[in-house]
Amino acid sequence: MVFYELFVRSFYDSNNDGIGDLKGITMKLDYLKELGVEGIWLLPIMQSAAFHGYTIIDFYNVNPSYGIIEDFKELIQEAHKRDIKVVLDVPINHTSVKCEWFQRAIEGDEKYKDYYVWANEKTDLTEKRHWDDSLIWFKYKDKYFYGLFGSSSPDLNFENKELWNEIKNVFKFWLNLGVDGFRLDAAKHIFDYDIENMKFKYQHDRNIEFWKEMISYIKNINPNALIISEIWDSPEVVKKYHGLFDVEFNFPFSYFIKDTIRYHDPRILVQGIEETLNHYITGKVESISGNFFTNHDMERLMTTFDENEDMAKIAFNILMTLPGYPFVFYGDEIGMRGKIIDVNYTEDSQEPMQWYESGFGPGQTEWKGCKFNPPYSFISVEEQEKNNNSLLNHVKKLISFRKDYKWIENSIISNLSNDRFTVSYILKTKDNEIKVYHNIKPQKTKVMKEKYKSYKIYGQGIIKDDYIELDGYSSVILEK
């Protein structure tokens, strides 16, 4: 299943206010269908004052900038008509300070006070989070609250079992509207503060206990609901959660893919597959690997590759020829650029989707100026649809291949090896087998022609009598 990560605000505007909306996505479902998308991961659509939507004011309502509940129902219905699933991002680790729960807590409501984590005599108010030295305790009126993700994001207190029931109601509400599953934001952060000792501490066992109960509840409502986790950490930590969620985002592998290409080093990709896709080598697959390059919190792919389109193409070749589910960040299919200053300022990686070469036209979102994707820079759907060799058409061809060879999702990796130029491996199931070569370097190389019934080249290459001459940043797929 090929997923598309979609930021509503930046995608398509149906009512000329410059902000993307749910009706706009419905209007562009045929674009996604033509691209080959089988699932949409919607970044948060719930009411929020933040541009990114990750600080929720009301878990039971749509952001008014994006439309109304009826618009969401229509989107679900129209997506399903096209055999496209819709997965909703639900950030339950924290709320907005504007959330009614938090406001009632501040006013002294006993029920809601216990929904949050407050400072006491043991608290070190100067404690900082471990990844960037930002403060984690913030004063609001006369109280200090714990907010690992910033001063507008008070963390919820999952020591309180009553809150567990509230979150179940949130999941039920959206499932009843027809959503096909959830992407669980910050899944390792449910229990990340030691209340007894008042100190930051990951408690992975307790996180797992919480998610087991939530997943069981969700699956009782919809047994086919797809649960996708975000655990941004080392392979060792990710493995603690293996088998709990249907799909696990493979953050470590995203860096292995990009570093392989940036440094032209095939050994890095071999190491990455061995370390992060090992369950597809042993055949002991409990959770599907969600493979991707980048997302809303990361620098865009083309920026990482200094705007080298051939490097982006070989990255997509790799993504679409490995088991698991590929995820494409909106706009990466046309090579959109975007840098991240830090984790608190991510707007520049979420610029408006570029539909038109001029930068303007019906449906074009304009909530943000395009610093990295200016008009007349060949970064548009309009321009790239005309060019058979564009990145967009390259990605379409790869997704079409992926859908024709759907068995790859559950295949076993074998014969993984590399030389100075290429990485090669075999993907197989009981009834299918292909061999894949990726030329990681910009120079040409030769691949021995073996006795296969078909040869598919993504990039440039020439098939000769005894060998295949493969251009730089190109791949060949040999089918038994």
Catalytic residues: 185, 230
36, 74 contact by CB (below 8 A)? no
String of b and e for 5-27 (b: at least 16 CB within 10 Å)?
bbbbbbbbbbeeeebbbbbbbbb
116, 143 contact by CB (below 8 A)? no
How many angstroms separate the Cα of 235 from the Cα of each of 49, 109, 251, 327, 413? 34, 42, 9, 19, 19
Helix (H) or strand (E) holding 438: strand 433-439
336, 300 contact by CB (below 8 A)? yes
- Of the CA atoms within 13 Å of residue 355, those in its CB half-sphere come to 16
The long-range contacts involving 424-433, CB below 8 angstroms and separated by at least 24 positions, are 425/273, 427/321, 427/322, 427/323, 431/407, 432/405, 432/407, 432/480, 433/479, 433/480
End-to-end CA distance of the chain: 23
Report phi then psi at 70, rounded to 5.
-60, -35
- Structural Rg of the chain based on CA atoms: 23
The span from the CA of 157 to the CA of 146, in Å, is 9
The span from the CA of 338 to the CA of 358, in Å, is 19
Q: Nearest-CA neighbor of 168 among 242, 101, 105, 219?
A: 219
Hey, is 81 helix, strand or coil?
helix
134, 126 contact by CB (below 8 A)? no
| DSSP states along 378-397 | S-SHHHHHH-TTSHHHHHHH
300, 338 contact by CB (below 8 A)? yes
47, 64 contact by CB (below 8 A)? yes
Q: Nearest-CA neighbor of 102 among 66, 69, 138, 72?
A: 138
CA torsion sign for 146, 60, 86, 180 is positive
| DSSP states along 230-258 | ---S-HHHHHHTTTTSSEEE-HHHHHHHH
